[in-house]
Amino acid sequence: MIEARDLTKDYGSKRAVDGLSFTVRPGIVTGFLGPNGSGKSTTMRLILGLDAPTRGDVTVNGRHYREHPAPLHEVGALLEARSVHTGRSAHNHLLALAQTHGIPKRRVSDMIDLVGLHEVAGKRSGQFSLGMGQRLGIAAALLGDPKTVMLDEPVNGLDPEGIHWVRNLLKGLAAEGRTVFVSSHLMSEMALTADHLIVIGRGKLIADTSVDDFVARASQKVVVVRSPELERLRTELAGPGITFAAAERGALEVHGLTAEQVGDAAASAGIALHELTPQQASLEEAFMNLTRDELEFAAEMEEAVA
């Protein structure tokens, strides 16, 4: 469980995180979504106490991260920025972390095997590829068998097999009742793993909702309808806030009505329908709709600067 209240962080005159309040619950995968530079990594650093908030507060499993007597058993974190000494081997990196909590050496080998770094465990981590570095970071996060797992862009640099592995891992961890908080700037990635979404833009909370609700809320009501009497149907459906777009031949795209409303209207007018398809916006579209304002603002700023 992660609870943030009015979390705010300024770096000089720049506000990176702006009054964020949210709760990340156990037992599900919560996606933390936002464009690059929206404050996701900063929020995670605030959660871990690496940075101190300018205002507000955040607790993990009921306490400030710093107050936990055994933090690695509470939270396992993978940060976006590299957090390994390049001259140290994967094994020694994990061993040094494990030793702070008295975690046995066997656990270090187990984690190395789990993430598939067995053959390179003795190599200096500076020679690792991006994907291997991510695997090492994930091993470090899981070392303490933590109640809460927090991963910043975990699939970055992973091959398709690795991405698949991470998705399964996250779902498995949530199924065991752990709190899983995972950030991404890719909506499509979240669609495949997350149950719940916390969306931020420019440091502010945009949405805190289930994935299903998020799509339903952000997508416009669009229905594709096919009928031999399209013109009459169009007259029947016309009303304020309702627009039509031409679809393929013999079909019509109705904006502003649900499939039920269109079907009922057609039935009461005695119009035969050959197709009635609600068009759900993709997650990526929903995300774009929500963050459009932020992005437009950013684009304007860029133009102004250029």
Partner 1 sequence: MSVIAPTVRLPRLDVTGRVAFHRILLSEWTKLRSVRSTKWSLAVGFLLTIAFPLIFAVVTRSHWGSMQPSERRGRHPLDIALAGVNVAQLAIAVLGVLLISAEYSTGSIRSTFTAVPKRLPVLWAKLLDYAAVSFALAVPAVLVSFFASQAILSPIQPLHISFTHPGVARSVIGGALYVMLVGIFALAIGAIVRNTAGGIAAFAGIFFVLPPLMFVLPQSWNNAISQYLPSEAGRQVFALHHAAHTLTPLTGGLVFAAYCAAAILIAAVLLVRRDV
Between 35 and 71, whose beta carbon lies closer to partner 1?
A: 71
Between 60 and 225, whose beta carbon lies closer to partner 1?
A: 60
Tell me if 41 contacts partner 1 by CB under 8 A. no
CB of 46 to partner 1, least distance (A): 9
Tell me if 49 contacts partner 1 by CB under 8 A. yes
Helix (H, G, I), strand (E, B) or coil at 257: coil
Tell me if 69 contacts partner 1 by CB under 8 A. yes
Tell me if 66 contacts partner 1 by CB under 8 A. yes
Cα dihedral: 79, 155, 134, 166 (round 10): 100
Q: Which two tokens stand for residue 305?
A: 């600067």
Tell me if 176 contacts partner 1 by CB under 8 A. yes
Number of residues engaging partner 1 in binding (CB under 8 A): 53
Tell me if 85 contacts partner 1 by CB under 8 A. yes
Stretch touching partner 1 by CB under 8 A, among 14-22, 25-33, 96-104, 267-275:
96-104
Q: What residues from 122 to 161 belong to the interface with partner 1 (CB under 8 A)? A: 140, 142, 144-145, 161
Buried/exposed code over 271-292 (b: 16+ C-beta within 10 A; e: otherwise): beeeebeebebebeebbeebbe
Tell me if 110 contacts partner 1 by CB under 8 A. yes
Stretch touching partner 1 by CB under 8 A, among 25-33, 70-78, 208-216, 223-231:
70-78
Tell me if 252 contacts partner 1 by CB under 8 A. no
Beta strands in 115-195 (DSSP E): 148-152, 179-184
Tell me if 88 contacts partner 1 by CB under 8 A. yes
Enumerate long-range contacts of 291-297, CB under 8 Å, 24 or more apart: 291/34, 291/35, 291/199, 291/201, 291/206, 293/201, 294/35, 294/38, 294/201, 294/202, 294/206, 295/35, 297/202
Reported residue count of the chain is: 306
Stretch touching partner 1 by CB under 8 A, among 26-34, 66-74, 274-282, 294-302:
66-74
CB of 21 to partner 1, least distance (A): 21
Q: Which two tokens stand for residue 50?
A: 């690496």
Between 67 and 213, whose beta carbon lies closer to partner 1?
A: 67
CB of 196 to partner 1, least distance (A): 20
Residues 6 or more apart whose CB falls under 8 angstroms from that of 237 comprise 244, 254, 257, 262, 265
CB of 116 to partner 1, least distance (A): 11
Sign of the Cα pseudo-torsion (272, 274, 278, 279, in order):
negative
Q: Which two tokens stand for residue 197?
A: 């979404």
Among 21, 23, 59, 92, binds partner 1 (CB under 8 A): 92
Q: Which two tokens stand for residue 242?
A: 């309702």
Stretch touching partner 1 by CB under 8 A, among 19-27, 61-69, 235-243, 295-303:
61-69
Give residue 285's Cα distance to chain centre: 15
Among 70, 130, 245, 269, binds partner 1 (CB under 8 A): 70
Beta bridge partners of 251: 226
Beta bridge partners of 148: 75, 179
Residues that bind partner 1 (CB under 8 A): 45, 48-52, 65-66, 68-73, 75, 77, 79, 81-89, 92-93, 95-97, 99-104, 107, 110, 114, 140, 142, 144-145, 161, 164-165, 168-169, 171-173, 176
